[in-house]
Chain A
Amino acid sequence: MDTKLIKEVTDWLKTTDLAEFCYEKDGNCIEVKTQEALPEPAAFACSLTAVTAPAIGIYHAADKGQNIALTEGQLIEQGAPLGVVETVSKKHKITAPVSGKLRVITVREGAVVEFGLPLFFIEPREC
């Protein structure tokens, strides 16, 4: 193994904003990760709480007949309204299962959603 090459690659990586680097040549493979590199995707997904559609229907960003504005990054409290899924005869209310930061909004106003589809991901506030 060419340790000189590894040192060069590591030094070079420090000058960039790359988190990971993978180099493969002649059957040798060098994989370098900085401390800032993200953990495995699976672990990343687990750190967020998914809020799924409670029914098949149409999503509305509304609560008690009033439109609600939701933006990624906003802080929300457990039980806060996240909208409704409307079926032919019912309105299924969606509320935040945990307090924390609303990291991802995957649904838009008026979208058709299936039962169990993830609509929001919340990063729970650390206790």
Chain B
Amino acid sequence: MGTDLSFTPFQKVLIANRGEIALRIIRTLKEMNIKSVAVYSQADRNSLHVRMADEAVCIGPARSAQSYLNIDAIVTAAKLTGADAVHPGYGFLSENADFAKAVTEAGITFIGPDANSISLLGVKSTAREIAVKAGVPVTPGSDGVVGKNYHAIARKIGFPVMIKAALGGGGKGMRACFNEEDLDRMMSTAQAEARANFGDDRMYLEKLVLNPRHIEVQVAADNYGNVVAFAERDCSLQRRHQKLVEESPSPFVDAATRVKLQEAACKLIEAANYRGVGTVEFLMAPTKEFYFMEVNTRLQVEHPVTEEVCGRDLVKLQVQIAQGEKLPFTQKEAAVIKCHAIEHRINAEDSEHNFVPCPGTVSEWIPSGGLGVRVDSHVYVGYAIPTYYDSLIAKLIVTAPERPQLLARSRRALGEFVVGGVKTTLPFHKRILDNADFIAGDTDTGLIERMLKQEKEHESQN
């Protein structure tokens, strides 16, 4: 693809985030010779992203609502520091259309899709409508928000059904209902949860696919109608809808299905007139049929898995697209599979006691190293993990030419990772690697819960 288009490179980018992802973005900006501005809350004064950025400004108190979620403060910080673009990272304001709009209205580039795409794809029911129009398979469902007639709709779809909040995310406002007797009760609890979390209780219904896999496709689209899709990520290993381990390529997806997935993802992104990087999430049945779930209009936690598999820097790609550059590679080049990669999310949580968060001061920190190991983390010895934010302390990304080698290397890397002072999920990740179903590549979104249940039963027997 020849690029005869002129564009103005960014001079300075503000990162509207914290923790490992802020560091991840700063690293790419440094390589691109772009100055970085970190924003921080009072609880993050000693954070590594503050030290590593070229400039850092305090935007508010510890509570995210007044700092990392404070649109006014972040846009003001961008204006005052003279940033010409804002990178939202993931979480916080990354999928907030009002934020994208406020940044753009201040004359600053938002590194991501425009506010309109975020709001269209952010509401799950409208995203689904776009998918239906684009001919992308969706699970049988209510095709929009349900009213008082939800009983009839549920019967038509056929039980079991999923009750989902229109503005939902992270498993909140979501209920699986296996028979009609439970429907009213499930609907009212899901609605209450949705109201509490999103201030909106519009709900929709979907067929519940039993024993599904969570398969997602990383995509990138430029301003000139070019769209590419990368090899899929298998994120089936989840606990309470939170991903713990992500793998690419999926051991379950064959070459023909892979092409179908990529085509479906591209069609959807084209139909939505989307710009930037994003992720199209699918639910895959044991028959390998797949259904569109949702689009994440941002960079994802697990993006390094794809970076390793395709050998490209996705943050750099985001910046290039936002600067107005054309996609620097073709679909064929994007879909290349250079290795097998896995990511373990290491959280400061006590995995032996119901995953309760364990904030505290890190007294010892020996991250894994060696061939095929990448650790993305903001932690250092003496770092006090604040209680205000999520508990992710490191992402361990391991690569190898083939899956059996990958599992051996992962086991080795987890074994040498030492974190002192706080409890972490490292022991749990080791047990995942010893799970026979996982080793066989036979996973679904229920595997972790089954594993935990088996462990509990085993404990009570002894």
Binding site for B on A (CB under 8 A): 55-58, 87-90, 112, 114-117
* Chain B 53-91 near chain A by CB (<8 Å), digits 1 or 0: 000011111000001000011011101100000000000
Contact B76 A88 (CB under 8 A): yes
Chain A contacts of B80 at CB under 8 A? 56-58, 112
Which residue of the partner chain B has the closest CB to A92? Answer: B72
Q: Give me 5 other A-B pairs in contact (C-beta within 8 A), A55-B72, A116-B58 excluded.
A: A55-B60, A88-B75, A90-B72, A115-B58, A117-B58
Q: Does B106 contact A (CB under 8 A)?
A: yes
Q: Tell me if B387 counts as interface (CB < 8 A to partner A).
A: no
Residues of A contacting B106 in the complex (Cβ-Cβ under 8 angstroms): 88
A115 touches B61 (CB 8 A): yes
Minimum CB–CB distance from B102 to chain A (whole Å) comes to 8
Q: Whole-angstrom distance between the alpha carbons of A73 and B120 in the complex?
A: 57
Partner of B76, one of A55, A116, A117: A55
> Nearest 6 A-B pairs (CB), nearest first?
A87-B76, A114-B58, A115-B58, A88-B75, A88-B76, A87-B72
Chain B residue contacts of A58, Cβ below 8 A:
80
Q: Is the CB of A89 within 8 A of B72?
A: yes
B189 close to A (CB within 8 Å) = no
Set of chain A residues within 8 Å of B61, measured between Cβ atoms: 115-116
The reply to whether B73 and A87 contact each other, CB–CB distance below 8 Å, is yes
Structural contact, B76 and A56, CB atoms closer than 8 A: yes
Decide if the interface of chain A is mainly helix, strand, loop or mixed.
loop
In the complex formed, the residue of A with least CB distance to B60 is: A115
Q: Does B42 contact A (CB under 8 A)?
A: yes
Could you list some 7 contacts between A and B, CB below 8 A?
Answer: A55-B60, A55-B76, A56-B59, A56-B77, A58-B80, A89-B75, A115-B59
Chain B residues in 8 Å Cβ range of A57: 76, 80
Residue numbers in A under 8 Å from B76 (CB-CB): 55-57, 87-88
Q: Which residues of A contact B57 (CB under 8 A)?
A: 56, 114
The smallest beta-carbon distance between A88 and chain B, in angstroms, is: 5
**Most A-side CB within 10 Å, residue of B58, B61, B72, B76:** B76
B219 CB to nearest chain A CB (Å): 32
User: How far apart are the CA atoms of A74 and B366 in the complex, in Å?
Assistant: 56
Q: Are B42 and A115 in contact (CB under 8 A)?
A: yes
In whole angstroms, how far apart are the Cα atoms of A74 and B219 in the complex? 62
A90 vs B102: C-alpha distance when bound (angstroms): 13
Q: How far is the CA of A58 from the CA of B79 in the complex (A)?
A: 11
CB of B105 to closest CB in A, whole Å: 9
Residues of B within 8 A of A117 (CB): 58
Distance between Cα atoms of A58 and B76 in the complex (Å): 9
CB distance from B110 to the nearest CB of A (A): 14
Q: Are A116 and B42 in contact (CB under 8 A)?
A: yes
**Residues of chain B within 8 A of A90, CB atoms compared:** 72
Residue in contact with B58 in the complex, picked from A56, A87, A88, A89, CB distance below 8 Å:
A56
Bound state CA distance, A90 and B75, in angstroms?
Answer: 12
Q: Which residues of A contact B60 (CB under 8 A)?
A: 55-56, 115
A residues within 8 A CB of B75? Answer: 87-89
In the complex formed, the residue of A with least CB distance to B42 is A116
| Closest chain A CB from B382 CB (angstroms) | 22
Min Cβ gap A84→B in Å is: 13
B59 touches A88 (CB 8 A): no
Query: Which of A58, A88, A116, A117 has the most CB atoms of chain B within a 10 A radius of its CB?
Result: A88
Q: Which residues of B contact A56 (CB under 8 A)?
A: 57-60, 73, 76-77, 80
Rounded to whole angstroms, the CA-CA distance of A114 and B74 in the bound complex is: 11
CA distance A115 to B75 in the complex (A): 14
Complex formed: what's the CA distance from A88 to B59 in Å? Answer: 13
Specify which chain B residues have a CB less than 8 angstroms from the CB of A88 in the assembled complex. Answer: 72, 75-76, 79, 102, 106
B100 to chain A, nearest CB (A): 15
CA gap between A56 and B73 in the complex, in Å = 6
- The smallest beta-carbon distance between A93 and chain B, in angstroms, is 15
- Nearest residue (CB) in A for B39 is A56
Mark out the residues of chain B between 30 and 57 whose CB falls within 8 Å of any chain A CB in the assembled complex: 42, 57
Q: Which residues of A contact B73 (CB under 8 A)?
A: 55-56, 87, 115
Distance, CA A58 to CA B72, complexed state (A): 13
CB neighbours (8 Å) of B42 from chain A are 115-116
CB distance from A59 to the nearest CB of B (A): 12
Give Cα distance in the complex from A127 to B290, angstroms.
Answer: 74
A59 vs B241: C-alpha distance in the bound complex, in angstroms? 45
Nearest CB in chain B: distance from A94 CB, A: 16
Task: Kindly state the separation between the CA atoms of A20 and B216 in the bound complex, as whole angstroms.
Answer: 71
Nearest residue (CB) in B for A112 is B80
B41's nearest neighbour on chain A, judged by CB, is A115
